[in-house]
Structure 1
Amino acid sequence: MAVAHVIQITDLHLSAERAYNYVGWQACLEHINQARPDFVAVTGDLVLCDPDHVPDHAFVRSQLERIEAPWAALPGNHDLGDSGPAPYMGQFITAARRARWLGHFGTDRWTRDLGRWSLIGINAQLLGSGLEAEDEQNTWLEGVIAGARGRPVALFLHKPLFLEHAAEADAPVFAVSGAGRAPVLDILAGADLRLVACGHNHCYRTVQHGRTAIVWGPSTGQLVAEEAPYHGIHEPGLVHYRFEDDRVEFALVKPAGMVASDNTRLVEQHRAMRFTPRFTVEQALAG
């Protein structure tokens, strides 16, 4: 009976110049390298908050290289912009921003086979974007799902496909739009979908939809103070998954030394984390 261990980390929000969230990341990294999972899924919002700040992309890539297990990353809205009607700081996803991501991380979609399981990662920011790459990804996903017939499937992405159900009104700040999720859900209808794992909303939340478990991973270190139309555990951490034959178990884990960085006051004072005072990695580690 093959068993595979996977760790999901998400919403790192890292920067060498403004390392406010670095302590949480360091604790996360040490935990992963001690746990030695079979795979690490990194589900977006790797950079602090600015998709056009190249040094942050380079820094995050260097940090992920410190993971001693196989890993693959997916982008979030802070990594390459968003597709909603009013994205954060007015930054829409563009082909140029996606190209920057690909230059640093190689891909924005992937598959991994672990035992009987097929793990699939997609770029949630493309959904509803209207970019040519959205159609390309949907075509790719159709092929991947066709190849996974007879196997349980786990889908990883940054934004939740929805908050409560697929027919709900759009909530673009928190979840993929209806126009974006509809083609993906049509494709997934042909799969034995057992898990959808995402991040984005900085909390741990689990919901069961029939045979499919939906898991929201928390940030590795940054809290969000804004009111939100959902309930969850607002603590930093990561998610452990145990894949066994056709079942998956999961749990929130808060590694030793992981602390929550509440940046609410900084954002109120400076409008966005990108405008905050410089705060180096050395300062962060010094406390």
Structure 2
Amino acid sequence: MRLVQISDCHLHADPAARSRTGVPHRQLVRVVEAVASWRPDMVLVTGDVSQDETAASYALARRELDRIDCPWFWLPGNHDEPVLMAECRAFQESVDLGQRRLLLLDTRIPGQTHGALGATRLEALAERLAEDDRPTLIAMHHPPISVGSRWVDALGLADAEAFWDLLATHQRIEAILCGHIHQAFEHRRTTPHGEVSIYACPATSDQFLPGAETFAVDEAAWPGFRVLELGSDLSTQVVRVEP
């Protein structure tokens, strides 16, 4: 199975609206064209679909994503308005990947840039992990680990250690896919049951400069997406697209 991750589209109602370094809608169109050429079995969008939190921005995203000939799913980020987003296309809490499963988490805190799961969502996650023993992928917007950039890390998952404490009690957590950081990122964290891989992908909109102490855009980096091949093992690569 081939899974493609897209993230951080930051669309406006006006498709001609500009971001810091380009036109988000135009860049999404080009990313979607490239994704379609890979013939994925599924596409996952890990949040911040909208910049202006309008119904029109979600309609634009759906129109473009529907061009890919496969099922696709999304989850909200800190810039999203989840009610409008769900009205455009319903959220899914889990997706059957055959020999694996994918759990989609909402880490958004209304009015905040950083994220958290909180006790209720952590409890719900524990129940979902316990009900199936297949290898599990977890998708979320906010990264549950430091990415080596002080300003980004301050806006990550506030209760990350509680999240990892929970994962430590469950076997067969294979990987975590997150958005929010607008850059390609890979890391592995050791748990009592083995290593868990953490992946993020380039934004379809602006890219953030890796390792920056304060906010900085990487003007040289192109938009992109992550391809994951889910066979007997998991392999992955990042693909860049000329904006």
Q: By the TM > 0.5 criterion, same fold?
A: yes
Contact 1:9–1:220 (Cα < 8 Å) also in 2: yes
Quote the Cα distance in structure 1 between the aligned partners of 2:57 and 2:35: 22
Tell me which residue corresponds to 1:121.
Answer: 104
Quote the Cα distance in structure 1 between the aligned partners of 2:184 and 2:97: 24
How far is the alpha carbon of 1:208 from its aligned partner? Answer: 1.7
Tell me which residue corresponds to 2:136.
Answer: 153
TM-score by length of 2: 0.79
- Unpaired runs of at least 5, structure 1: 81-97, 260-287
Quote the Cα distance in structure 1 between the aligned partners of 2:209 and 2:239: 21
* C-alpha spacing 1:235/1:206, structure 2 compared with 1 (3 Å): farther
Tell me which residue corresponds to 1:187.
Answer: 166
How far is the alpha carbon of 1:15 from its aligned partner? Answer: 2.5
How far is the alpha carbon of 1:134 from its aligned partner? Answer: 5.2
How far is the alpha carbon of 1:204 from its aligned partner? Answer: 0.4
Q: Does 1:208 align with 2:195?
A: no
Deviations 1:176-235, CA, capped at 9 Å, x for gaps: 11xx334433332213112111111111011122311111111013223697359x9954
TM-score by length of 1: 0.68
**1:63 aligned partner, one-letter code:** E
Quote the Cα distance in structure 1 between the aligned partners of 2:237 and 2:213: 23
Q: 1:99 aligns with which of 60, 80, 83?
A: 83
Percent of paired sites with the same residue: 24
Q: Does 1:176 align with 2:178?
A: no
**2:8 aligned partner, one-letter code:** D
Quote the Cα distance in structure 2 between the aligned partners of 1:229 and 1:153: 33
Q: 1:198 aligns with which of 159, 178, 203?
A: 178
Deviations 1:133-182, CA, capped at 9 Å, x for gaps: 95553343222211222x211111111012169xx9x9442x111xx334
Quote the Cα distance in structure 2 between the aligned partners of 1:241 and 1:227: 25
How far is the alpha carbon of 1:125 from its aligned partner? Answer: 1.1
Tell me which residue corresponds to 2:234.
Answer: 248
Deviations 1:74-118, CA, capped at 9 Å, x for gaps: 1111113xxxxxxxxxxxxxxxxx3333222312x5212223212
Contact 1:15–1:60 (Cα < 8 Å) also in 2: no
C-alpha RMSD of the superposition:
3.1
Quote the Cα distance in structure 2 between the aligned partners of 1:197 and 1:144: 17
* C-alpha spacing 1:217/1:15, structure 2 compared with 1 (3 Å): same
How far is the alpha carbon of 1:123 from its aligned partner? Answer: 1.0
Q: Does 1:239 align with 2:218?
A: no
Quote the Cα distance in structure 2 between the aligned partners of 1:163 and 1:9: 21
How far is the alpha carbon of 1:50 from its aligned partner? Answer: 2.4
Quote the Cα distance in structure 2 between the aligned partners of 1:195 and 1:234: 25
- Unpaired runs of at least 5, structure 2: none
Q: Secondary structure at the match of 1:28?
A: helix
